[in-house]
Structure 1
């Protein structure tokens, strides 16, 4: 509009920064080769971050890259949600409309939350807790698709102003961007990042990512200031001016320009202001009066002010406004916005100085003018910014009656965009304004327009006024969804205190807040939440059916499904379904039906329970309730695995992961992937199971339970492959993720199983017994047999392997009695668990010295009908051992060992492979594989581990629990010689201690005569 306007004081030459620019251009090269790059550029205000980025983007465009720049904006003291991403995507939309549309195909409704140009925002599901994660995942996939065959440079400026949602999206982008020709550069003011600045934790998190590089800009040296001055003045600066400017600017590039400008305005060098704010205002005060007025108006309008909006607020004639803008742009105070639709300050420091110089009444008057202009002509700003900016203008105008409805409307818009942190901030402003607003204004507000956090409590939302409690409910949910759980807990406490008074007594509202509190107690590892759920149940007991009543019952049933799915849980789930149907709350009904299906399967009503889960999956998918559909995939795959139908579980989980990822349901995909990894391991697909568990560990949010399950499964694989120490480390990490306040059987029993295997592998029988006793102290709730049988099997196998050890004798009767009690309390509703039951019985018999080939034949037959290769190989090894002990059936034993050996080798199950090979060697059987030589007959003076006769004598005494001195006395040797023999034995057996050596000797029958 202004045409060519001559500006002054900006350095026309790019000074210094060669190293930093080299780092950026190297990243551009690597990004163009398909290796995504992420860089953070930090430095104090005015040090030259923007100039460096401008130079870099110029080079990037020259090399054919597509550049999109987005800046965090400051409207008053508030940032707009996702502002830099929205701006950058808008730039990409202008540059590559067809390509961006193709990349967003099928997800336009979700991505419209970031870029309204995609169309109408998709439906908002208040129950979808991972709505934000879904939006983040879809955004990353959009960028990856767009950068598949072109280099994209994404620049995000001024992170120190970033809203919480922008910070979270940036962190997610940096963590998960692994494909595409893309370079992401983000800038921030390092001098603004004080100890409590919200950007500080993000910077610390990004520092831990190897994929993120940081560039810190330092101030200019004297020589660089000299070059900058020479460029600005187009002449050699006078020595006195150089000395004065360098001293006062201290090498800050922007201050150099301001000092030169103030000198050009007529101020003598010696009279330059000592105050930074005054220095920045020198050029503003040199402008004509109308230009100063326009500059002050722009300062209060936000980071960028549209021309038409500015014209409405400044109240100048068009000619006068343009002349004023021409003067401000010519003085290099204002510049045209990149899209050419408005004006902004060239540097935010000047804007801050001008804004700070406004009088309090002047500031509120300008904000009122902005608000009134925007209400009269909403089209003055983009639709996606309108609500937030109007709320900000009215809030800073100090007009509570006009501000409250505007703030509430903005909170609704931010909620639709899944910007829950910004929604919380706006709701807190509404709570702050509430008592300042006249009753008639509050009375005109309706819950249906502003609140959706909980179902209607028997009131007409169209006629009942919005209440303070409604806002508290909205704020509590927003706080929970944006991760501010402590804040959510405090908001809930405030609400419950109000509900305790006679004026606000409302049992349905109170019940809703207690269920929220239960969720938070569990999330914060403060307990299992049952006391809160019980309180909610008391409050709704005897009341007519309602959505809240159905919700409370559904939450109670869901709690019990994971901890004690007994008759009470079944009754709660059935009533939740009934009440939800009565009040037509289908979302709650479907959640309750999914829970009901799981409880029915756990109770033995298998086919009806599975049918219910399948029906819920189909209905939620048809309704587009993908969050609940993903939850159903989690539960269905888990139930199938619990029934031993692992292949079906894999199929359901694979479909569920595809569905969840296609809709950006990252957290849900993690839960499903945990089930997939578990089923793959059960099926003997250990390598693929490990890959899935490792992928889950990389992608699961920090501290979440799916990550704990991934660690537990990796620990299980490690111990099964003969690596107990790494398994123990994984187990400790998993325990930290699970926490100790809410020991759900689905986590505690598998953890105890792995811990038992580790202790057994290390010869710590006492620890095996202690773990089993602690894990089974409260019994086995319905449905936990899938975890109980492997745990009991591991414990009884350790007892059988230690049979004959003197150290194992103490406490053995009690240990075996506990195992028998466990067997009596464990259900075996499916063939796989019936096979486990037979296996446990056979190991019990082996522990008591009464194992028979008939028992082991029965176990082998049971597992042969199942897809459980590791368990089958173990059973075949035991049957072969029993056959050889009875004598006369060597060929049959050899065939069993060959089959077991093939499985052990394929799985990488080194302990099982070792057991099989040692048994074959002791029995002098034919080769186990074609590429291995036949075991040579054992000489009398040696055994399979190369132990000499003397070492075998020492090993027998070690197995009896003798000390080195006692061994020396028994064999008439010195204690030192006995110690040397023990060390040699440990080395040959490959064990870490005497107890482990004794256990191995008995397990492999090394002290028996050769078979």
Structure 2
């Protein structure tokens, strides 16, 4: 699911275009990235059946880009390396030994893009390993902000789920159509030097316009003596060609059958070793002498089946040739070649996954069981261990292979299932993890493994946002016989799930009771489980000051734990949330940095996206919407990778910003995608509905907006005081501008009855609502100044707008000028142009005009337009720091830094980060 609609004008792909039109379009897209004045890229998928010419087209486009001076990265996925972690990525950007290969790859691409546009082409992506597919998805996302052209070519079918997730992220996808009659004629001219006659043209229609099929048909006719060059400049079919009922595969087999034994033996070794096999390795795999190998290689190249990948290495000219040659191998020869390849590659220090692949393919009946089975199991186990740190999806695949090899009744099979389910969950494949856990629970007798599988299933359900399923699973376990301590821990988990689903008051009562009934020696353990919930409940009640105390107590309890529990808890996410309401923007921003650092220290990388979301919330209230957008985009990308369902707040906030910046299409698309997935609302707060209200207000569609405002407020009164305070300024403004003073008065009365002493940074909302109802400019001004004192500039700007409108209705319209200027300045700083236009329209209808625009012009371009965070990033870029280095220094994610760099270059009108060296930045 793409949560990040791609902004800006782009050249759309031809829907049913010809091959020539598609090639022209693709060259235009690539040239647009290469020559574009702005720091932006693009992504395209070229798909189609085997042999249709995908690689040929992409190769030509990439070659033209390289000839034009662009830096090109390319790789081709191999079927033999589907279980090798980051095989495609290592070919694309080079291997990485110690650090996370994904981060290293992104850093290398980013560094390359800093020097100029980059074209990245991955061929045969349908065969890529799972770890590489994840990195490619991130590169496709990065192409929105980098001068990076991501070109993916793949077969239309069949494709794995991982490939579908990748191809679903590209901006455009085109299906390469068949060649028409004229293009087939051109192909014949290239092959034979002559134009096809009528009979030959008619016969070649049987290729369906597939270039490889047509080529093989011509080759077969030529080999059978059925082509006549008697005509002037033409070549014609003579005689009756034999029927071909098996299509292209049969023609390729026929082509292979014409080769002599030495070439066949060489090609057989090539099919097993994979692409780019050296003649030295092919010699070790075959019985050919050195001279014979060179002769056979030359003949294979002249036959059109192979090409030199470098001076000493061979590759098949098309993947279909490799597949056909592999299928031609006798079973006994295939087994022997794979066994030989396993030994050769093991001696060469190849990855364990490569060795395991060959051992698996050599495991016929003669080597199953006993030594052969044990050897394969050891290789798969080693491969899984090699990939576990950074490629859990590959680990899950390898452990699945291992489960096939070992006997399901063996001791340790339950543990193997737990490991595989955990790897699936870590890679974001929650449903697959849950299915595997349920299947093993039906047969497992191991108490420890059963407990871990139950916990994993519940965790997967909760991570996906399926709270009803998680509660059902918990209740079924509680209905069984559990030790009292284990039951209380499970009840504590149930409290958290219930709260996240919106029933936080019920959860708070249960959690408090749990603490009361636990024995003294158990109380500390129960506290560490429920204090996060109790702190969130306090915040939702409006006691954010109390929430800060409780979460600090939780963190102190977890600090002494060395079992890894601290890394699995969400406690480190919440302190900035509570600080924002209790003490304002500055302390909250400092808390974000502290909590990010602490999460990194304990290895809680799964919290990274949620730190992004919290940081965005702080930036939104601070009025730094560029920073907020960068954090939200980075966090949403990360949650998509891990399969999290807890994104309602982030989706709502991102769509809210888009709406208030006038990007209504993007906001509507984002909200529609969220609605289609029926994901939960965190703590019951309808952030997407809040964003929908913004869309209707900006459209404008005031009657519909007022109707939605009523529904949102009615729900908010049932949800929490904290949610009422968040929603109130927007709902009240819509009510006033829509002529519904009654709703505004009802809201002010409800808020006036709240105890807001525990959340002073947002408490001025009460005065703002009362001032709006009473038309009290002084009260609205006091609220605006109070907000500013806490750094809450968004709410201050909303209050200044209302103060300006109230003052404009009095007999002293001059008193409206300062509030108006502050409101307009605030909106322009945030990029909220529709809001700026709204306040100007409101005061204009009241008879107040602002004056010449030139006197009030604000800076939205150049160094002075950069936010404080963007300035810090810009200085570090100018100092030569890479994005990961900047991220580490500022405690941001590399993806957030990348977005900041894109914003910086756009605001400064620069093409690459290297151009920053000549820019004078403000102090």
- Between structure 1 and structure 2, the one with the greater Rg is 1
| Mapped pair 1:566 → 2:508 | yes
1:218-617 superposed matches below 5 A: 218=179, 221-231=183-193, 246=204, 252-255=210-213, 257-259=215-217, 261-262=219-220, 270=240, 274=244, 275=246, 276-303=248-275, 305=277, 307=279, 310-314=282-286, 325=297, 328-329=300-301, 331-338=303-310, 340=312, 342-360=313-331, 362-371=333-342, 373-374=343-344, 378-380=346-348, 382-383=350-351, 386-390=354-358, 392-394=360-362, 399=368, 401-402=373-374, 403-418=376-391, 420=393, 422-435=394-407, 442=410, 465-467=411-413, 469-499=414-444, 504=445, 506=447, 509-510=450-451, 512-520=453-461, 523=464, 525=466, 527=468, 529-533=470-474, 542=483, 557=496, 560=499, 563=502, 564=504, 566=508, 569=511, 604-605=545-546, 608-609=549-550, 611=552
Aligned equivalent of 2:892 = none
> Using a 3 Å threshold, how does the CA distance of structure 1 residues 286 and 911 change in structure 2: closer, same or farther?
closer
> Using a 3 Å threshold, how does the CA distance of structure 1 residues 120 and 396 change in structure 2: closer, same or farther?
farther
Question: What's the TM-score, normalizing by structure 2?
Answer: 0.67
Deviation at 1:494, TM superposition (A): 1.1
Deviation at 1:699, TM superposition (A): 5.5
Flag structure 2 segments of 5+ consecutive residues without an equivalent: 1-17, 228-239, 828-834, 854-923
In the TM superposition, what whole-angstrom CA distance separates every residue of 1:75-101 from its partner, at most 9, and x where no partner exists? 29x5644433322223xxxxxxxxxxx
> Using a 3 Å threshold, how does the CA distance of structure 1 residues 486 and 66 change in structure 2: closer, same or farther?
same
**Secondary structure, counterpart of 1:529 in structure 2:** helix
Deviation at 1:638, TM superposition (A): 1.6
**Secondary structure, counterpart of 2:468 in structure 1:** coil
**Secondary structure, counterpart of 2:78 in structure 1:** coil
**Secondary structure, counterpart of 2:412 in structure 1:** coil
Q: How far apart in 2 are the matches of 1:150 and 1:881?
A: 50
Number of equivalences: 793
| Mapped pair 1:45 → 2:11 | no
Q: Contact 1:756–1:795 (CA<8 Å) still a contact in 2?
A: no
Aligned equivalent of 1:903 = 822
> Using a 3 Å threshold, how does the CA distance of structure 1 residues 302 and 920 change in structure 2: closer, same or farther?
closer
Equivalent in 51, 70, 77 of residue 75 of structure 2: 70
> Using a 3 Å threshold, how does the CA distance of structure 1 residues 510 and 368 change in structure 2: closer, same or farther?
same
> Using a 3 Å threshold, how does the CA distance of structure 1 residues 671 and 214 change in structure 2: closer, same or farther?
farther
Aligned equivalent of 1:956 = none
Q: How far apart in 2 are the matches of 1:279 and 1:382?
A: 35
Question: What's the TM-score, normalizing by structure 1?
Answer: 0.62
Q: How far apart in 1 are the matches of 2:520 and 2:49?
A: 59
Deviation at 1:396, TM superposition (A): 6.5
> Using a 3 Å threshold, how does the CA distance of structure 1 residues 577 and 707 change in structure 2: closer, same or farther?
farther
Aligned equivalent of 2:652 = 712
In the TM superposition, what whole-angstrom CA distance separates every residue of 1:35-88 from its partner, at most 9, and x where no partner exists? 535444445434444445555555555444444431111229x56444333222
Q: Which moved more, 1:833-842 or 1:221-230?
A: 833-842
**Secondary structure, counterpart of 1:185 in structure 2:** strand
In the TM superposition, what whole-angstrom CA distance separates every residue of 1:404-439 from its partner, at most 9, and x where no partner exists? 44333333334334250x433333333333337xx7
Q: How far apart in 1 are the matches of 2:47 and 2:784?
A: 66
Aligned equivalent of 2:725 = 789
Flag structure 1 segments of 5+ consecutive residues without an equivalent: 1-15, 91-114, 123-134, 443-464, 583-587, 922-926, 933-1011
Q: Contact 1:390–1:406 (CA<8 Å) still a contact in 2?
A: no
**Secondary structure, counterpart of 1:435 in structure 2:** coil
Deviation at 1:333, TM superposition (A): 3.7
Equivalent in 183, 186, 195 of residue 152 of structure 2: 186
Aligned equivalent of 1:175 = 141
**Secondary structure, counterpart of 1:492 in structure 2:** helix
Q: Contact 2:508–2:533 (CA<8 Å) still a contact in 1?
A: no
Aligned equivalent of 2:125 = 159
Q: How far apart in 1 are the matches of 2:103 and 2:392?
A: 15
In the TM superposition, what whole-angstrom CA distance separates every residue of 1:620-640 from its partner, at most 9, and x where no partner exists? 9xx9x9996996664232222
**Secondary structure, counterpart of 1:566 in structure 2:** helix
| Mapped pair 1:679 → 2:618 | yes
> Using a 3 Å threshold, how does the CA distance of structure 1 residues 73 and 912 change in structure 2: closer, same or farther?
closer
Q: How far apart in 1 are the matches of 2:473 and 2:447?
A: 16
| Bigger RCO (CA 8 Å, 6+ sep) | 2
Q: Contact 2:79–2:127 (CA<8 Å) still a contact in 1?
A: yes
Q: How far apart in 2 are the matches of 1:250 and 1:928?
A: 69
> Using a 3 Å threshold, how does the CA distance of structure 1 residues 556 and 522 change in structure 2: closer, same or farther?
same
The root-mean-square deviation of aligned C-alpha atoms, in Å, is: 5.9
Q: How far apart in 2 are the matches of 1:852 and 1:178?
A: 46
| Mapped pair 1:831 → 2:760 | yes
| Mapped pair 1:87 → 2:91 | yes
**Secondary structure, counterpart of 1:491 in structure 2:** helix
> Using a 3 Å threshold, how does the CA distance of structure 1 residues 690 and 733 change in structure 2: closer, same or farther?
farther
Q: How far apart in 1 are the matches of 2:735 and 2:495?
A: 40
Aligned equivalent of 1:945 = none
Q: How far apart in 1 are the matches of 2:527 and 2:332?
A: 54
Deviation at 1:349, TM superposition (A): 2.2
Deviation at 1:829, TM superposition (A): 1.0
> Using a 3 Å threshold, how does the CA distance of structure 1 residues 471 and 47 change in structure 2: closer, same or farther?
same
Aligned equivalent of 2:895 = none
Aligned equivalent of 1:130 = none
Q: Contact 1:41–1:187 (CA<8 Å) still a contact in 2?
A: yes
